């Protein structure tokens, strides 16, 4: 027995409905992906800002270290010279290593 004849036009509403379902699903997935992408972009910008802040803090610490190093060198030069400006004997009046580390 053959199936009853159906007009080809009866197939199109079902096909259109399936197409609309698929298209709606794709759009919702796309919207979800865009939302995740936007959230990820916000997180990346926050990380970038945090890295920049840490980089600036590191630069400040490096500047402080350089200033302390310069102070220690100037203090060591002063100690190496006597009150008359003549250099002291080797090791006389030199700062101990622990004093230099404290600076």
Is residue 81 classed as helix, strand or coil in its secondary structure?
Answer: strand
Question: pTM of this prediction?
Answer: 0.46
Distance in angstroms (rounded) separating the CA atoms of residues 28 and 46: 27
| Contact yes or no for 100/76 (Cβ under 8 A) | yes
| Contact yes or no for 95/78 (Cβ under 8 A) | no
| Contact yes or no for 43/74 (Cβ under 8 A) | no
Taking residues 68-75, what's their average pLDDT?
93
Q: Kindly indicate the confidence band of residue 95, based on its pLDDT and cuts at 50, 70 and 90.
A: low
The per-residue pLDDT for range 22-66, each reduced to its tens digit, is: 878 777 777 777 888 888 899 999 999 999 999 999 999 999 999
């Amino acid at each position: 027995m053959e199936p009853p004849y159906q007009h080809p036009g009866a197939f199109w509403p079902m096909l259109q409905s399936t197409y609309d379902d698929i298209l709606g699903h794709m759009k919702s997935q796309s919207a979800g992906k865009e939302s995740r992408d936007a959230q990820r972009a916000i997180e990346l910008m926050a990380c970038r800002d945090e890295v920049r802040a840490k980089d600036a803090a590191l630069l400040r610490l490096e500047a402080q270290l350089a200033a302390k190093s310069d102070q220690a060198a100037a203090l060591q030069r002063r100690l190496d010279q006597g009150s008359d400006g003549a250099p002291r004997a080797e090791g006389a009046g030199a700062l101990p290593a622990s004093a230099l580390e404290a600076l």
